[in-house]
């Protein structure tokens, strides 16, 4: 009797799902693409090339592209996953350069390194080209999923929204990881829809690749678990399916975790895990990452109440205002309507409900996590292609002949989305930061000592440009600990600008700014060795004069 009921429920689900998939083809992820989607891909490609060619602006001094590129160069040269720069906090794990990579996960740098090795050239265009291709491919995957979940016309709307999403486009231009991450997640979602053993393993493998691209994959895990439990008739089947997916994920990530365990004794080590403690009363701005902590000392933390206050404070500013404005308020409104519609029709379309529940849980957890960890819209934008697909659920049937109401809503939504994104696109932002020119680099290499670490407020930029070991400027109350660690620091570099790295360091910031103006009030700073026309300053460091400056910043 129980088996008969189970069989009846299974057949019922298959029948209801068949009405949803009647016009879909799943022979390959991009099989739903036809001539309209070739046009959409072409539009995405043209838009990317246009921005790269005519509106391309070089990454700013704190752009991650410098870090990814110098990591890739070391890897291409056979040095392994090591970095030319680190943060003072990471000296707790390793004090000798080259430093083990404890800040980045390895996949994107590995892709860049492969192209470096293949072409024999270490050009900054490589990460931008890889990210640009991923941007186009993400649009194609969105089209395929849109045809599966929605309809071809609505899939075109979803592609348009992704192509015009300023945050993903700017990430492609700057050569960052977001679009590569989105591609892996979308492929994993496509495999999840197939619901077979082989495709479950494939979904887990691509989730593992996404984890090795960006660590925020961890916030998708509960959503994946919800999807598997809803998609299966019994809870036991859901657990079995989730086990397959997570086993494949762990198998892909295992080599990296083993490497971390062998290097520093912690398979999941990541200095970025200390971001929640930053910008608190105890550790204002970036002072925590800039604090030198000897290996024998415990790593610092922030009081729990400060972390709670920080997260709750970001719930309104980031979790509501910035999130709504960045994703388009109309899209977020339709997104919640789509979640409700999927829930209401969960009996007729369980696969739609399983997917919508996955997106709802994952998006909510990501927003909450970013409020407490790192409230940055660029990171939140990685979930938006999935959010847009759910947002279009309420507009299903809008292209039918007599659906005038939905058709009107769809047209208004398209116009609003294009206009909303256009205001970002036409700004054409450019950085005012000054970069070292080749002749200046040559003079610097001849002027400054060739050995030892360079302290810098833009260490990732110098690590790439000069190919030297660099350390982010430590706080003045911990810099004297470099002596006990036996670290040689012959040169201090200050870049042009306002010194964002020294925000909220009290008198220390004023000391750095005064030094930029030629007023040396820091006793261990020596003579000016070189100043470029672009404003970069290199000072000798009187290492033997390091005092304990703990009281100077109070």
With tokens 């493998």, the residue in question is 205
Q: In what order do the strands lie in the sheet with 85-86?
A: 85-86, 470-472, 454-456, 491-494, 537-541, 525-531
544 C-beta neighbours (distance < 10 Å), count:
7
> 3-class SS at 454?
strand
Q: Which two tokens stand for residue 443?
A: 């003079």
- Check residue 414 and give its pLDDT: 72
Residues 181, 183: Cα–Cα separation, whole Å: 5
Contact residues for 154 (Cβ-Cβ < 8 A; gap 6+) = 146, 392, 395, 396, 398, 399, 410
> 3-class SS at 209?
helix
Residues 57, 169: Cα–Cα separation, whole Å: 13
Contact residues for 217 (Cβ-Cβ < 8 A; gap 6+) = 181, 185, 207, 210, 211
- Check residue 26 and give its pLDDT: 40
Burial 306-325 (b: 16+ CB within 10 A, else e): bbeebbeebeeebbeebbee
- Check residue 362 and give its pLDDT: 96
Separate counts of helices (H) and strands (E) for the chain: 22, 8
Burial 187-214 (b: 16+ CB within 10 A, else e): bbbbbbbebeeebbbbbbbbbbbbbbbb
- Check residue 391 and give its pLDDT: 92
Rg (alpha carbons) of the chain, rounded to whole number: 26
- Check residue 62 and give its pLDDT: 55
CA distances from 172 to 44, 69, 114, 115 (A): 12, 15, 19, 17
With tokens 């509501």, the residue in question is 320
Residues 542, 525: Cα–Cα separation, whole Å: 6
Torsion of CA 29, 34, 40, 44, to 10 degrees: 50
- Check residue 17 and give its pLDDT: 46
- Check residue 73 and give its pLDDT: 95
- Check residue 114 and give its pLDDT: 96
pLDDT averaged per 10 residues, the chain (length 554)? 40 41 41 54 61 52 82 93 91 86 91 94 87 88 87 83 82 88 96 91 97 94 94 87 96 94 86 84 84 83 83 88 81 91 88 94 95 89 93 75 65 69 55 74 89 87 91 84 82 76 58 67 81 87 56 39
Residues 344, 337: Cα–Cα separation, whole Å: 10
Provide DSSP, 456-487.
ESSHHHHHHHT---EEEPPPTTTTTHHHHTT-
With vertex at residue 114, the alpha carbon angle to CA 112 and CA 120, rounded to the nearest 5 degrees, is 95
Q: Which two tokens stand for residue 157?
A: 């709307």
* 8 Å CB contact between 389 and 341: no
Phi, psi of 374 (to 5 degrees): -155, 90
Q: Which two tokens stand for residue 275?
A: 């971001």
- Check residue 513 and give its pLDDT: 66
- Check residue 48 and give its pLDDT: 62
CA distances from 94 to 264, 295, 310, 381 (A): 8, 8, 30, 34
* 8 Å CB contact between 285 and 302: no
Say how many residues make up the chain: 554
Residue 108 host element (H or E):
helix 107-119
Q: Which two tokens stand for residue 11?
A: 């057949």
Residues 534, 550: Cα–Cα separation, whole Å: 33
* 8 Å CB contact between 486 and 100: no
* 8 Å CB contact between 331 and 410: no
* 8 Å CB contact between 60 and 378: no
Q: Within its chain, how far is the Cα of 317 from the centroid?
A: 20
With vertex at residue 545, the alpha carbon angle to CA 489 and CA 477, rounded to the nearest 5 degrees, is 75
With tokens 């360091």, the residue in question is 505
Max intra-chain CA distance, the chain? 89
Q: Which two tokens stand for residue 421?
A: 């994104």
- Check residue 233 and give its pLDDT: 77
Closest CA to 477 of 306, 295, 293: 293
Residue 492 host element (H or E):
strand 491-494
Question: Pairing mode, if any, of strands 470-472 and 491-494?
Answer: unpaired
């Amino acid at each position: 009797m129980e088996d008969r009921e189970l069989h009846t429920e299974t057949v019922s689900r298959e029948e209801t799902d068949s009405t949803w998939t009647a016009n879909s083809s799943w022979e390959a992820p991009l099989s739903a693409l036809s001539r309209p989607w070739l046009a959409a891909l072409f539009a995405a490609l043209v838009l990317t090339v246009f921005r790269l060619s005519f509106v391309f602006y070089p990454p700013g001094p704190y752009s991650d592209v410098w870090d990814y590129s110098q990591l890739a160069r070391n890897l291409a040269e056979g040095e392994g996953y090591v970095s030319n720069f680190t943060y003072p906090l990471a000296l707790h794990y390793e004090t000798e350069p080259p430093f083990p990579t404890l800040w980045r996960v390895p996949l994107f740098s590995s892709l860049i390194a492969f192209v470096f090795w293949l072409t024999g050239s270490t050009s900054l265009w490589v990460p931008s080209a890889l990210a640009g291709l991923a941007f186009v491919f993400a649009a194609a995957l969105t089209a395929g999923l849109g045809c599966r979940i929605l309809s071809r016309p609505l899939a075109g709307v979803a592609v348009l929204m992704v192509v015009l999403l300023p945050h993903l486009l700017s990430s492609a231009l700057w050569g960052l990881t977001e679009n590569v991450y989105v591609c892996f997640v979308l492929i994993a979602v496509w495999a999840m829809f197939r619901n077979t053993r082989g495709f479950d393993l494939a979904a887990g493998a691509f989730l593992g690749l996404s984890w090795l691209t960006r660590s925020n994959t961890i916030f998708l895990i509960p959503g994946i678990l919800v999807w598997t439990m809803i998609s299966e008739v019994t809870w036991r089947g859901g657990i079995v399916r989730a086990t397959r997916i997570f086993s494949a994920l762990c198998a892909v990530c295992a080599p990296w975790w083993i490497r971390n365990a062998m290097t520093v004794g912690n398979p999941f080590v990541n200095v970025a895990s200390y971001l929640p403690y930053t910008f608190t009363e105890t550790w204002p701005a970036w002072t925590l990452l800039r604090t030198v902590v000897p290996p024998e000392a415990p790593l610092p933390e922030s009081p729990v109440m400060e972390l709670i206050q920080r997260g709750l404070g970001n719930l309104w500013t980031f979790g509501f205002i910035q999130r709504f404005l960045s994703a388009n308020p109309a899209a977020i409104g339709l997104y919640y309507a789509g979640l409700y519609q999927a829930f209401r029709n969960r009996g007729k379309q369980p696969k739609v409900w399983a997917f919508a529940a996955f997106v709802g849980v994952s998006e909510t957890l990501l927003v909450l996590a970013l409020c407490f960890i790192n409230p940055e819209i660029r990171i939140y934008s990685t979930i938006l292609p999935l959010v847009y697909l759910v947002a279009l659920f309420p507009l299903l049937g809008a292209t039918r002949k007599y659906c005038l109401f939905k058709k009107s809503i769809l047209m208004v939504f398209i116009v609003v989305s294009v206009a909303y994104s256009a205001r970002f696109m036409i700004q054409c932002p450019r950085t005012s930061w000054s970069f070292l020119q080749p002749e200046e680099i040559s003079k610097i290499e001849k002027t400054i000592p060739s050995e030892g670490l360079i302290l810098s407020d833009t260490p990732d930029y110098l690590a790439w440009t000069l190919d030297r070991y660099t350390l982010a400027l430590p706080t003045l109350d911990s810099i004297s600990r470099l002596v006990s660690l036996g670290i040689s620091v012959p040169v201090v570099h200050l870049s042009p600008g306002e010194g964002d790295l020294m925000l909220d360091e009290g008198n220390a910031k004023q000391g750095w700014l005064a030094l930029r103006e030629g007023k040396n009030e820091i006793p261990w700073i020596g003579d000016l060795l070189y100043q470029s026309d672009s404003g970069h300053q290199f000072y000798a460091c009187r290492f033997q004069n390091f005092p304990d400056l703990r009281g100077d910043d109070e």
